[in-house]
Structure 1
Amino acid sequence: MTSTVLEPEVRASRSLGTVLAVVGIPVFMVTLDNLVVTTALPVIKNDLGASLTDLQWFVNAYTLSFAALLLTASAIGDRLGRRRIFLAGLALFTVASAACALATEPWMLIGARAIQGVGAAAVMPLSLTLLSAAVPADKRSAAIGIWGGISGLGVAVGPVVGGAVVDGLNWQWIFWLNVPIGVLVLPFVARVLTESYGGSRRFDPVGLVLSAAGLLGVVWGVVHGADDGWTSGPVLGGLVGGAALLIAFLVWEGRTPAPMLPLRLFRIRAISVVNATSFTFSLGVFGAVFLLAQFFQVVQGYSPLDSGLRTLPWTAAPMVVAPIAGLIVDRVGARVLIASGQALLAVALGWMAVVTTVDVVYGSYVVPFVLAGVGMGLTFAPTASVVMGAAAENDRGVASGTNNTVREVGVAMGVAVLASVFASAGGYESPAQFVDGLVPAVWVGAAVVAVGAVVALLIPGPSKTR
Structure 2
Amino acid sequence: LATVPAVLPAVPGRRAGLDVAGAAAVTAGLGLAVYAIVQAPERGWGSTSTVLQLGGAVLLLALFVAWQRIVRGPLMPLSVWRTPNLAGANAAMALLGAAWIPMWYFLNLYLQQVLGYGAFPSGAALLPMTALMMVLMVGVTGRLIARFGTKPLIVTGLVVLAGGLLVLSTIDASGGFLTDVLPGSLVSAVGMSLVFIPATMAAIGGVAPEQGGLASGIVNTTYQVGSAIGLAVMTAIATSQGAGKLGDLPSLTDGFQAAFIGAAVVALAGAVLAVVTLRTPAAATGAQGDVKEEVRA
TM-score by length of 2: 0.85
In structure 2, C-alpha distance between the alignment counterparts of 1:289 and 1:340, rounded to whole Å: 20
In the alignment, which residue of structure 1 is the partner of 2:267?
A: 449
**Structure 1: gaps spanning 5 or more residues:** 1-9, 20-130, 138-194
- Cα distance, 1:428 vs structure 2: 4.5
Does 2:166 match 1:294? no
Q: For the structure 1 residues 357 and 408, does the alpha-carbon distance in structure 2 shift closer, same or farther, using more than 3 Å as the test?
A: same
Task: Please give the per-residue CA displacement for 1:352-379, whole angstroms capped at 9, x wherever unaligned.
Answer: 11x1221123223322211111111112
Task: Please give the per-residue CA displacement for 1:419-441, whole angstroms capped at 9, x wherever unaligned.
Answer: 22223332052233322322222
Does 2:7 match 1:135? yes
In the alignment, which residue of structure 1 is the partner of 2:222?
A: 406
Q: For the structure 1 residues 436 and 330, does the alpha-carbon distance in structure 2 shift closer, same or farther, using more than 3 Å as the test?
A: same
In structure 2, C-alpha distance between the alignment counterparts of 1:258 and 1:221, rounded to whole Å: 30
Task: Please give the per-residue CA displacement for 1:146-183, whole angstroms capped at 9, x wherever unaligned.
Answer: xxxxxxxxxxxxxxxxxxxxxxxxxxxxxxxxxxxxxx
Task: Please give the per-residue CA displacement for 1:354-410, whole angstroms capped at 9, x wherever unaligned.
Answer: x12211232233222111111111122222322332111111111111111111111
Pairwise mapping of residues 211-360 of structure 1 onto structure 2 (< 5 A)?
211-323=26-138, 324-353=140-169, 355-360=170-175
In structure 2, C-alpha distance between the alignment counterparts of 1:340 and 1:329, rounded to whole Å: 12
Q: For the structure 1 residues 274 and 257, does the alpha-carbon distance in structure 2 shift closer, same or farther, using more than 3 Å as the test?
A: same
In structure 1, C-alpha distance between the alignment counterparts of 2:11 and 2:77, rounded to whole Å: 22
Q: Is the 8 A contact 1:320 1:377 kept in 2?
A: no
Q: For the structure 1 residues 445 and 201, does the alpha-carbon distance in structure 2 shift closer, same or farther, using more than 3 Å as the test?
A: farther
Q: Is the 8 A contact 1:275 1:406 kept in 2?
A: yes
In structure 2, C-alpha distance between the alignment counterparts of 1:221 and 1:208, rounded to whole Å: 20
> Per the alignment, in what secondary structure is the counterpart of residue 269 of structure 1?
coil
TM-score by length of 1: 0.56
Q: For the structure 1 residues 227 and 202, does the alpha-carbon distance in structure 2 shift closer, same or farther, using more than 3 Å as the test?
A: same
Q: For the structure 1 residues 216 and 298, does the alpha-carbon distance in structure 2 shift closer, same or farther, using more than 3 Å as the test?
A: same
Pairwise mapping of residues 192-203 of structure 1 onto structure 2 (< 5 A)?
198-203=13-18
Does 2:246 match 1:429? yes
Q: For the structure 1 residues 317 and 255, does the alpha-carbon distance in structure 2 shift closer, same or farther, using more than 3 Å as the test?
A: farther
In the alignment, which residue of structure 1 is the partner of 2:208?
A: 392
Percent identity, aligned pairs only, is 29
Q: How many residues of Structure 1 are paired with residues of Structure 2 in the alignment? A: 279
- Cα distance, 1:134 vs structure 2: 5.2
Q: Choose which of 377, 398, 403 in structure 1 pairs with 2:193.
A: 377
- Cα distance, 1:319 vs structure 2: 0.3
Q: Choose which of 460, 463, 466 in structure 1 pairs with 2:279.
A: 460
In structure 1, C-alpha distance between the alignment counterparts of 2:43 and 2:144, rounded to whole Å: 49
> Per the alignment, in what secondary structure is the counterpart of residue 205 of structure 2?
helix
Q: Is the 8 A contact 1:220 1:235 kept in 2?
A: no
**Structure 2: gaps spanning 5 or more residues:** 285-297
CA RMSD across the alignment:
2.3
In structure 2, C-alpha distance between the alignment counterparts of 1:297 and 1:375, rounded to whole Å: 25
In structure 2, C-alpha distance between the alignment counterparts of 1:429 and 1:328, rounded to whole Å: 44
> Per the alignment, in what secondary structure is the counterpart of residue 285 of structure 1?
helix
In structure 2, C-alpha distance between the alignment counterparts of 1:394 and 1:449, rounded to whole Å: 32
- Cα distance, 1:136 vs structure 2: 6.7
Q: Is the 8 A contact 1:278 1:403 kept in 2?
A: yes
Q: Choose which of 439, 442, 458 in structure 1 pairs with 2:257.
A: 439
| 1:463 partner letter | A
